[in-house]
Amino acid sequence: MTGLPVDGVTLILVLPALTAALLAALPGYRLSAGLNVVSAFATFLAAVSLFYAKPAPGPYILVDDLNIVFIVLNTFVAFTTSVFSASYIAHELETGRLTPTHLRFYHAMYQVLLFAMNLALVANNIGLMWVAIEMATLTTVLMVGLYRTHEAIEAAWKYFILGSVGIALALFGTILVYMAARPVVGEGLDGMVWTVLIEKVARFDPALLNLAFVFLLLGYGTKVGLVPLHAWLPDAHAEGPTPISAVLSGLLLNVALYAVLRFKMLLAANPEAIAPGPLMMVMGLASLVFASFMLYRRRDIKRMFAYSSIEHMGIIAFAFGIGGPLANFAGLLHMAMHSLTKSAIFFAVGSITQVKGTQQIADIRGLTVTHPLLGWGLVVGVVAIAGMPPFGIFMSEFLVVSSTFARLPLLALPLVFGLLVGFGALMMRLQGLAFGEPSGDAGRPVQASYLPMIAHLALVLMAGLYLPPPLVAWFRHVAGLLG
């Protein structure tokens, strides 16, 4: 905004960084949790201000119509998750799973993660983007291992090694992009600036670009959780604190996908390079079908929803792989809806595991009887994520399916098959979780706030019933940019 000395981009980077430093120094979890919420909210406001005042792209920072969608979604879910986390952690302290020292660390890391994700989203420099995603990986590894149980450490280690290999491959791809750019753009900083690259990419060596994209897709695809690179994802979701599962599913996967999209745009602008779409479509479909089948045999509730995230990231990657205005629109909408719905589900699951004292699906029964609001919240969330009307996910899945029928009718078969298999699995599990004879201590009250969950589900419902025309126009415009 013109009247302010600082612009929105500076704010969304500086606020989390400063808060992280402050939280690392402050004792007392109530104060920290409050500060965490306030800072996340301020960051969200700063992100919204970007709609009104976009700074000009520099060699490091870029805000355009594409990443603003990601930034606003990112900061919004980060804010609601911080609200949920504030009420969630009190219980963890009581049961002794976490100590105050852990919490101080946890809050500081939460803000560092926000900083890293925002930096990755606004980075105009592909090297800087890589550094930011590496940083986000590191912080989430530390948070996944927070409980220090054998399982948590195993999950963190697995995530660490697979994530590191992923980002190492992505760096090799980044170097190859620079090598392709050097003869055209010249040496130095410009060779890594995305806005410069996209202008001149048509004259790059297509063979090098192709090879680079394969490395980048495998590297960042590991972080998106695409099959066959998904092995870290269920463990990381199941063993970490639940707010982190929500952030991982709702945000970090999107950030990695955003990186893939940026490079896909580069390849699409070079007429001689391979079409990046089919690669993404194959990985997306494989993720969808594989994850849908994996949903059946899950016994751990957080694991089950982690596989559901793989399924949905597969759908999104598939939609972007098809390309074209309609499929891109569907992909963007699905991404936004999935972020909101999946984090709402994880909010519910966090409270459920606290009141029932277990993550085993078989030990959680009759939630709607013992905790009506929580139980029905879960029912609504799962119905939404399974793709039933009238929720937003139904609409975006419908768009994906119909554009597949229009463009590549044969591929619609595995797509619809995967969707149905996943739907069946979720409904089967939901039956046991929500209804029937209640299990466990029925009287235990819920401490976590319902507000974030209800807010997310209301937004998803609203999107399913009525999308405001300005939003549709915006998404359509962005879908056009993606090509």
Partner 1 sequence: MNGLVFDVAHLLAGALVLVSFMLLYQDRLYALLNVFALQAVVLTLSVAWQAYAQDAPHLYVTAVIALVFKAIVIPVALHRIVARLGIHREVETVVSIGPTMLAGIGLVGLSMVVMLRVTAEADPLAREDLAFALSVVLLGLLMMVTRRNAVSQVVGFMSLENGLILAATGAKGMPLVVEISVAFSVLIAFIVIGIFLFRIRERFDTVDVQALDRFRGERR
Binding site for partner 1 (CB under 8 A): 125, 127-128, 130-131, 134-135, 138, 141-142, 145, 150-151, 153-157, 160-161, 164-165, 168-169, 171-172, 175-176, 178-179, 182-183, 187-189, 191-192, 205, 207-208, 210-211, 234-235, 238-239, 299-300, 303, 359-360, 362
b or e along 392-406 (b: 16 or more beta carbons within 10 Å of the residue's beta carbon)? Answer: bbbbbbebbbebbee
Q: 33 vs 126, which CB is nearer to partner 1?
A: 126
Q: State the Cα–Cα distance between residues 109 and 106, nearest whole angstrom.
A: 5
Is the preceding omega at residue 390 within 30 degrees of 0, hence cis?
Answer: yes
Q: 7 vs 235, which CB is nearer to partner 1?
A: 235
Q: Least distance in Å: CB of 387 to partner 1? A: 26
Q: State the Cα–Cα distance between residues 462 and 468, nearest whole angstrom.
A: 9
Alpha helix positions (H), 145-227: 150-185, 194-200, 206-224
Q: Least distance in Å: CB of 179 to partner 1? A: 5
CA neighbor of 7 nearest in space, from 39, 60, 38, 49: 49
Q: 134 vs 397, which CB is nearer to partner 1?
A: 134
Q: Least distance in Å: CB of 14 to partner 1? A: 19
Q: 162 vs 453, which CB is nearer to partner 1?
A: 162
As given in the structure block, the two tokens for residue 255 are: 């950030």
Q: Are 169 and 219 in contact (CB under 8 A)?
A: yes
Q: Which residues pair with 193 in a beta bridge?
A: 125
| Contacts of 72 by beta carbon, 8 Å cutoff, 6+ apart | 44, 47, 48, 50, 51
Q: Least distance in Å: CB of 110 to partner 1? A: 18
Q: 175 vs 198, which CB is nearer to partner 1?
A: 175
Q: Least distance in Å: CB of 199 to partner 1? A: 18
| Residue 150, Cβ density class (10 Å: 0-12 exposed, 13-18 middle, ≥19 buried) | exposed
Q: 30 vs 297, which CB is nearer to partner 1?
A: 297
Q: 1 vs 360, which CB is nearer to partner 1?
A: 360
Q: Least distance in Å: CB of 440 to partner 1? A: 16
**Alpha carbon distances (Å) from 223 to 119, 164, 313:** 16, 10, 11
CA neighbor of 177 nearest in space, from 129, 223, 122, 225: 129
Q: Least distance in Å: CB of 37 to partner 1? A: 28
